[in-house]
Every structure is written in C-alpha cells, then in structure tokens.
Structure 1
Amino acid sequence: MQTEHTILIIRMKVGSDDETEDGIQESPIAHNILKLFSELEHCDDDEQKVKIEKLNEIVDDMNEEEFRYVFMTGLFNKIDKMINEKKISLQNAIVLLKRMGHFRSLKFPWVYIFKGYSLSESFGKTIIEENKKKKGKNEKLLIDLCECYLLLNFSFPSKLTSIFVSNLLRIALNKEENEEIQEEVEVALLALTCMCQEV
C-alpha cells in the first residue's frame, strides 16, 4: 500500500513542470525538504548542520498540507534508522526535530504526528535511561529529548510525566534575563503547555 510520502514523490515525478497529471499543484517547499533530507545521510557532521539549518528555514514556510505530506509519512522512521546506523548524530537529529516540533505546536497544534513511530519509542526509552543515571547524566540531552517529544506530539506514556515535569519546570522557572536563556524558557513552557493538553 502506498504511503502519502510515496504518492507525493510519484506526483512530483509524473507531473508537468507546473501541475501533476491528476491536477494537483506540485509543492516546491515539500520537494525541497524531501531533497535536502535525502542528502543528509551522505554528508559529514558539519555539512549536515548546514543542510539542517536550510531545512529548518524551509519548514517555517510550510502550510498544513505540506507539513502532513512531509512529516507524517515515514520520515520519523527514516531518522530513527539514520541515528541507529550512525548516519546522523542524535544532536543533529534533535536540532531538526525540535524546530519541526516548535513549528507544529505554534501553527498546527491539532496535528498529532509522532506517536506510533519507532523514533517516538526510541526517544521515550532514551529519556528514561538518561533520567535514571546517577553519574554522567547529560542534562542538555535530556531536556532536548523531552522538548522534542512533547513538541512533536503531546500524547505520551504516563511513566514519562514526572520526568517531563521535573526537567522542564526547572528550565521554565529560570529567571535569568539573558536572551538565550529566555528562548530556552519559552520552548520549555511551550512543551509543558503541550503536555497539559494531554493531561
């Protein structure tokens, strides 16, 4: 059975320059995102960072249909596979996913895109494992993973609730008047808002 991702690619290939054979207009934004994404696994770490920044800029211009086409059709499983095969670092994947989740939460909060994908399960397991560590805990990684998880989709197992609350509240309550810190506070608050919608 064809996924929407497959159908989108077919539409892009079989259509004329301006329109596909079924009359649906091609989406240059979706095309550029898929093209850049397909190039990621063939780049080194620095090149990936450059392409991810370009991807993030394009994501900000998507409409809801383009967003659904691109991100609800297997890209999360592809990212999970790339992480497992060490074709993309977890840190680079988080940069892309966090921006994507931030965009979803602000523009299309009714679109639930993360639950059920292997990447959602992987992130959930990593969050639990990192939170259990007594020594060598990577606090930034834990916060980033919590934010990614909630910004992409606020539906989550109840066992993650206390982890989300304790870690994100600590960031959200930071009173430092520093632009970078305040941006972190805003993202943490947005993630907590997503979580409250589920609760």
Structure 2
Amino acid sequence: MTMSVTERFTEFLSDLEDCDDNEQKQKIHIMNEVIDKMNRKEFISVFTKMIFNQMNKIVEENKMSIDNTILLLKQIGYCNMMKSFWNYGFEHSSLNERFEKMIIDENEKKKDEKNEKLLVNLCECYVMLRFNFIPEELLSICVSCILKVALNKEENEKAQKEVEMALLALSNMGYCSLRQNLFLHEIKEIILHHQEHRNLTRLAYQSVWDFLIDRFF
C-alpha cells in the first residue's frame, strides 16, 4: 500500500530523532524536496498544530538542533508563502511559543553576546509561518532584524538569496500596523538602490513593494 504524504512526512520526522546532526541535514534536504512537491491539500493536512508540537518536542529533548529546525521551517515557510498554502498550524503550536521566547531572549542580550544570524533566522521563520496578528513587541524586533539583512547591497548569489528571503518574509506582514520609523527610510533606500544598480531578484523586488503597499492601508 502506498504511503500518503502525511504518513511519509511524519515518518521522516520520527526518524530525525535517531540521527546525528549531519544525517539530520541530509534527511531534511529530502523532506524539503517532499514539501516542495506538496499540493495545497497535502500541505494543510501535514502542517498541523500537532506536527509543529512534535517538532518542538524533538527540539526540547535535544534530539534536533535549532539550526536544523530552522533549515526545515524555512522551506515550510517559503512554500507557505510562494504557493499561498495558508494554515494556522504553527501559530497555535508550542513551537511558535518557543520561537517567540527565543526571539525576545536573543534580542535582549548584550551586543557582544547576541547571535545576529540566529536572531534573523528565527525572525524569518516566525514571520513566514504566521497568518494572523503578530504581537507588537515581536513585530518591531522582527522588522528591524530582517531589514538589516535586506539592506545588504552585495551582488553575489549568496547575498542576493539572503536578501530575497528577508524581503519575502517582510511581505508576509500583511496589514500589520508599523511605525514609519521602523521601516520607511530603509525600504526607500532598498528600492532606490535597486533602481540604480538592479541588485535585487525579481521576487525580492516584488516583495519589497508588497510590503510597502500594504503599509498604505
């Protein structure tokens, strides 16, 4: 009997508990390919509150690193946005609560103790997987962190991909109310620089305009 995509993904997730870090990365790469091929019905049936709670349990028991968790969640968030596969599984889960606490705790650390890369990754995953209202404290932290990445003007492929992901995450803010001093100067700088140098991908440029236009509401 052929396994459903839900059963297959759940089995993959259970297998991660018995793998070392490198094996987990390899399995997550395969899982990300499975995610990319899901249709809307499959995506919604797989990524429920229960599956995100299961991920949180694996992290809590130190059976999966936060870096590997982020590697998996970024692909889920990317597909969530690119294919408009919206669901409420993440934001009602214990993993959502863990990410909120980690973002606040990391942001409150002194500058020399703060892991900026981790903070940005946490913020991007959190924002891309949310569907509803984001608490104001989290909103201001996430926008500020993600904008720092989006302001990178390097033109190599790695930098462009990071900027694209950052701007895609920002575009998922929807109609969340933000103070202009949190974003307007930076967004103008990104758009004007791109108009002069053409340094953004098409998706990144569309995302930055989506973010800005939503602010008009």
TM-score by length of structure 2 reads: 0.76
Structure 1: distance between partners of 2:145 and 2:137:
14
Q: Deviations over 1:4-32 (max 9, x none)?
A: xxxxxxxxxxxxx36xxxxxxx63x3332
Are 2:130 and 1:153 aligned?
yes
Question: Does structure 2 conserve the Cα–Cα contact (< 8 Å) formed by 1:154 and 1:198?
Answer: no
Q: 1:35-92: CA deviations, max 9, x gaps?
A: 2112000111111111000000110000111111111141111111111110101111
Give me the whole-angstrom Cα distance separating, in 2, the residues matched to 1:198 and 1:68: 24
What letter matches 2:136 in structure 1? S
Partner of 1:64: 40
Residues 114, 152 of structure 1: 8 Å contact kept? yes
Give the Cα–Cα distance (whole angstroms) in 1 for the partners of residues 160 and 154 of structure 2: 7
% of aligned pairs identical?
49
The Cα of 1:109 is off from its aligned counterpart by 5.0
Which residue of structure 1 lines up, in the alignment, with residue 64 of structure 2? 88
Structure 2: unaligned runs, 5 residues or longer: 178-217
Q: Indicate if the aligned counterparts of 2:21 and 2:65 stay in contact, CA closer than 8 A.
A: yes
Q: Is the 8 A contact 2:44 2:85 kept in 1?
A: no
> TM-score normalised to the size of structure 1?
0.83
What CA distance in whole angstroms lies between the structure 2 residues aligned with 1:66 and 1:197? Answer: 28
* Separation (CA, whole Å) in 1 of partners of 2:162 and 2:37: 22
Question: Is the counterpart of residue 140 in structure 1 residue 104 in structure 2?
Answer: no
The reply to whether residue 75 of structure 1 matches residue 51 of structure 2 is: yes
Q: Show the counterpart of 2:95.
A: 119
1:198 CA drift (Å): 3.7
Aligned to 2:147: 169
Distance in 2 separating the partners of 1:197 and 1:70:
27
How many Å separate the matches in 2 of 1:34 and 1:75? 8
1:78 alignment partner AA: Q
- On the 8 A contact 1:154/1:197 being kept in 2, the answer is no
Cα separation, partners in 2 of 1:110 and 1:44, compared to 1, 3 Å = closer
